[in-house]
């Protein structure tokens, strides 16, 4: 049975199309793109935008080990509800994915329970301890799409250099969580006026920037491709901008909360404003927007980090870091970046489809005849209020409860199957 998506405005940044087009899906591939097409099941996309299924290269699905927060099943449903058809899962599970056996476990669980495509990353060092490399070649053969010790940085520059060389040999990108953990051990928010006022230990921006600088230099030395995760500061973006200008193989990502909120959101000690790296200041928000507009920031990634309510419902200093983001990412992109004219809708979709896919060379994030039928249909004008109890994620830790946003996913199709329909 073929599916026809009719009358929608097709935006496919990979091919540069932004025009009214129908799409005919047959099986798990796109059969035809054109106008006046015919199909068996018709999805009327009048007034909607039709784009490639969104791609998120940074999510935490907590399986194995912390299934009470999220599972591959619930995480994939949250992704589908947010318009995503491909996600790259981080390996800091319990146990961490540092060998082929665990990689196979994740892939099996994905086959059994995920409604969208799961692309797992593997640890770069054993147990994420930053000392011994994992068997990256075997992990890649088992299905790893990248290596990362996300959650922490690799403290030893010696180890980091060798990891980058080896990953490059295996044609794997190292996804870098940049944090110099020796500068501050007990920080829980950005160091600045807010942390002074609230009496909370702060994490200076330098902690992130020093690590970005170091990691980029090692990438330059080794010629490896390093992908800087969750950039949050103006100076950090500057470092990356200059490195790119010098031809160093660096890409980077940022998350919607970093352009929507500042550390002022911590006022009142809401633990849903606690994440690592932390919310920064207005000057950084401006730099992130500029970085997205001028292409310094390659893609948007949510760092979707679910935590159970009880875990977050504690004293601010004791709460775990992280917030969810899959189900609000598109709306925050449209409300805070597209509507105010900082980037165009086409650029926004690029940042969430072919750009993240290209960082890791994933064969998704585009719509082409003969290509995968991963399609998202959304209404860029629809206004809605964020209500966490409606989320498909198992967790509710978002700072956006009650926020009015624009941009609502209507239908998500993955490999030709409707995986979400509002």
Partner 1 sequence: MVAAKNTVWTRKDLVGIEDLSRDEIELILNTAPQFVAVSARESGIKKVPLLQGRLVVNWFHEPSTRTRTSFELAAKRLSADTLAITTSASSLVKGESLHDTLANIEAMHSDIIILRHSCAGAPQMLAERHPSHIINAGDGRHEHPTQALLDAFTMLEYVRELRGDPNATLDGIRVALIGDITHSRVARSNIWCLTKLGAKVVLCGPRTLLPPEAERMGVDVTTDLREAIHDANVIYALRIQLERQQSCLFPTLREYVRLFRIDSESLKVAPNDSLIMHPGPINRDIELAAEVADSPRSVVLKQVSNGISVRMAVMHLLVNSPKRPQTTEERAQ
The one among 47, 65, 318, 363 contacting partner 1 by CB under 8 A: 318
Distance of alpha carbon 405 from alpha carbon 396, whole angstroms: 17
Residue whose token pair is 């917030």? 323
The one among 126, 181, 264, 269 contacting partner 1 by CB under 8 A: 269
Minimum distance from residue 164 beta carbon to partner 1 (Å): 32
Q: Distances in Å between the alpha carbon of 283 and those of 132, 326, 360?
A: 39, 25, 30
Neighbours of 397 (CB within 10 A): 26
- Any contact of residue 384 with partner 1 (CB under 8 A)? no
DSSP string of 175-192, one letter each residue: EE----TTT-SS--EESS
The one among 182, 247, 315, 402 contacting partner 1 by CB under 8 A: 315
Q: Which is nearer to partner 1, 271 or 376 (CB)?
A: 271
Cβ atoms of 114 and 72 closer than 8 Å: yes
303 is annotated as an active-site residue: yes
Neighbours of 40 (CB within 10 A): 10
Minimum distance from residue 402 beta carbon to partner 1 (Å): 16
Minimum distance from residue 131 beta carbon to partner 1 (Å): 24
Options 139-147, 189-197, 210-218, 410-418: segment touching partner 1 (CB under 8 A): 189-197
Minimum distance from residue 185 beta carbon to partner 1 (Å): 9
Q: Which H or E run includes 259?
A: helix 256-260
- Any contact of residue 342 with partner 1 (CB under 8 A)? no
Cis-peptide, bond into residue 18, ω within 30° of zero: no
Which of 150, 284, 303, 374 is catalytic? The answer is 303
The one among 317, 385, 421, 422 contacting partner 1 by CB under 8 A: 317
The one among 38, 47, 111, 193 contacting partner 1 by CB under 8 A: 193
Tell me the two tokens of residue 379. 């209404």
φ, ψ for residue 175, nearest 5 deg? -95, 115
The one among 202, 322, 356, 388 contacting partner 1 by CB under 8 A: 202
Cβ atoms of 86 and 119 closer than 8 Å: yes
Minimum distance from residue 197 beta carbon to partner 1 (Å): 7
- Any contact of residue 192 with partner 1 (CB under 8 A)? yes
The one among 132, 313, 369, 387 contacting partner 1 by CB under 8 A: 313
Distance of alpha carbon 331 from alpha carbon 328, whole angstroms: 5
Q: Which is nearer to partner 1, 189 or 330 (CB)?
A: 189
Helix/strand/coil (H/E/C) assignment for every residue in 273-301 = HCCCCCCCCHHHHHHHHHHHHCCCCCEEC
Distance of alpha carbon 317 from alpha carbon 402, whole angstroms: 25
- Catalytically annotated residues: 303
| Contacts with partner 1, residue ranges (CB under 8 A) | 191-193, 195-200, 202, 268-269, 310, 313-318
């Amino acid at each position: 049975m073929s599916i026809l998506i009719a009358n929608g405005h097709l935006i496919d940044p990979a091919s540069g199309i932004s025009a009214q087009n129908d799409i005919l899906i047959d099986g798990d591939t796109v059969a035809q793109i054109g106008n006046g097409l015919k199909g068996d099941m018709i999805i009327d996309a009048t007034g909607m935008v039709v784009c490639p299924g969104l791609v998120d290269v940074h999510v935490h699905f907590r399986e194995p080990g912390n299934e009470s927060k999220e599972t591959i099943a619930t995480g994939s449903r949250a992704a589908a509800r947010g318009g995503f058809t491909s996600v790259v899962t981080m390996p800091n599970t319990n146990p961490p994915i540092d060998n082929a056996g665990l990689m196979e476990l994740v892939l099996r669980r994905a086959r059994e329970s995920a409604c969208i495509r799961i692309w797992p990353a593997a640890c770069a060092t054993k147990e994420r301890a930053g000392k011994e490399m994992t068997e990256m070649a075997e992990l890649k053969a088992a299905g790893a799409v990248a290596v990362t010790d996300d959650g922490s940085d690799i403290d030893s520059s010696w180890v980091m250099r060798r990891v980058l060389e080896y990953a490059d040999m295996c044609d794997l990108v190292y996804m870098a969580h940049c944090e110099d953990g020796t500068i501050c051990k007990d920080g829980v928010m950005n160091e600045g006026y807010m942390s002074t006022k609230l009496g909370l230990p702060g994490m200076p921006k330098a902690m992130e920037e020093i690590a970005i600088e170091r990691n980029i230099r090692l990438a330059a030395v080794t010629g490896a491709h390093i992908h800087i995760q969750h950039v949050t500061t103006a100076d950090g973006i500057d470092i990356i901008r200059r490195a790119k200008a010098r031809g160093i193989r660096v890409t980077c990502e940022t998350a919607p909360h970093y352009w929507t909120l500042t550390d002022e959101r911590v006022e009142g000690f809401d633990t849903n404003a606690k994440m690592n790296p932390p919310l920064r200041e207005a000057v950084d928000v401006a730099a992130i927007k500029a970085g997205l507009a001028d292409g310094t920031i390659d893609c948007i990634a949510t760092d979707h980090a679910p935590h159970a309510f009880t875990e977050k419902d504690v004293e601010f200093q004791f709460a775990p870091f992280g917030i969810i983001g899959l189900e609000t990412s598109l709306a925050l992109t449209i409300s805070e970046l597209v509507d105010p004219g900082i980037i165009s809708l086409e650029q926004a979709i690029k940042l969430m489809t072919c750009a993240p896919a290209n960082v890791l060379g994933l064969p998704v994030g585009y719509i082409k005849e003969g290509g995968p039928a991963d399609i998202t249909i959304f209404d860029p004008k629809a206004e809605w209020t964020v209500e966490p109890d409606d989320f498909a994620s198992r967790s509710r830790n978002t700072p956006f409860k009650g926020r009015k946003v624009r941009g609502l996913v209507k239908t998500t199709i993955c490999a030709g199957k409707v995986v979400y329909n509002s």
